[in-house]
Amino acid sequence: MGRTLGLIAGSGGLPLEVAAAAREQGVEVAVVAIEEHTDPAIAELASRGTCWIRVGELGRLIRALQEQAVDEVILAGAVAKRGALRDPSQLGLDARALAVMARLKDRGDDALLRAVAAELESEGLTVVASTRYLQDRLTRLGRLAGPTPTPVVESDLALGLRVAKGLGTHDVGQSAVVKQGTVLAVEAVEGTDAMMRRAAALGGAGAVLVKAAKPGQDLRFDVPAIGLQTVELARRCELLAIGLEADRTLVLDRARTLAEAERQQLAVIGLRLEQG
Q: Are 105 and 65 in contact (CB under 8 A)?
A: no
> Is residue 208 within 8 Å of 115, Cβ to Cβ?
no
Lowest mean pLDDT among 102-111, 202-211, 221-230: 102-111
Strands 4-9 and 182-186 come out as unpaired
Task: Give the three-class secondary structure for 225.
Answer: strand
- Measuring CA to CA, which residue among 272, 231, 219, 223 is closest to residue 255? 231
The one-letter amino acid at 209: L
* Residue 85, pLDDT score: 41
Q: What is the pLDDT of residues 122-150, one digit of tens each?
A: 999 999 999 999 998 899 999 999 999 99
> What's the rounded mean pLDDT across residues 76-98?
69
| Residue of higher predicted confidence among 202 and 222 | 202
* Confidence band for 80, pLDDT divided at 50, 70 and 90: low
Which residues lie closer than 8 Å to 163 by C-beta, 6 or more apart?
176, 178, 183, 186, 210
pLDDT of residue 86: 44
SS3 3: coil
Average pLDDT, the chain: 91
Q: Tell me, what's the pLDDT at 231?
A: 98
Q: Is the pLDDT of residue 87 over 60?
A: no
pLDDT at 53: 95
Rounded mean pLDDT, 230-234? 97
Res 112: pLDDT = 81
Asked if residue 83 has pLDDT above 80, the reply is no
User: Per-residue pLDDT for 18 more than 50?
Assistant: yes
Give the residue from 165, 145, 74, 149 showing the smallest Cα distance to 113: 74
Q: At what angle do helices 228-236 and 254-263 cross, to 10 degrees?
A: 20
Mean pLDDT, residues 194-200 taken together: 97
pLDDT over 60 (residue 253): yes
Question: What does pTM read for this prediction?
Answer: 0.86
Q: Which domains does the chain have, with CATH numbers?
A: 4-122 (3.40.50.20), 138-271 (3.40.140.80)
pLDDT tens digits along 168-179? 888 788 999 999
pLDDT at 222: 73
Our measurement of the distance from residue 7's CA atom to the centroid of its chain's CA atoms, rounded to an integer in Å, reads 14
Query: Residue 66 pLDDT more than 90?
Result: yes
Structural element, H or E, at residue 250: strand 250-251
Q: Is the pLDDT of residue 276 over 60?
A: no
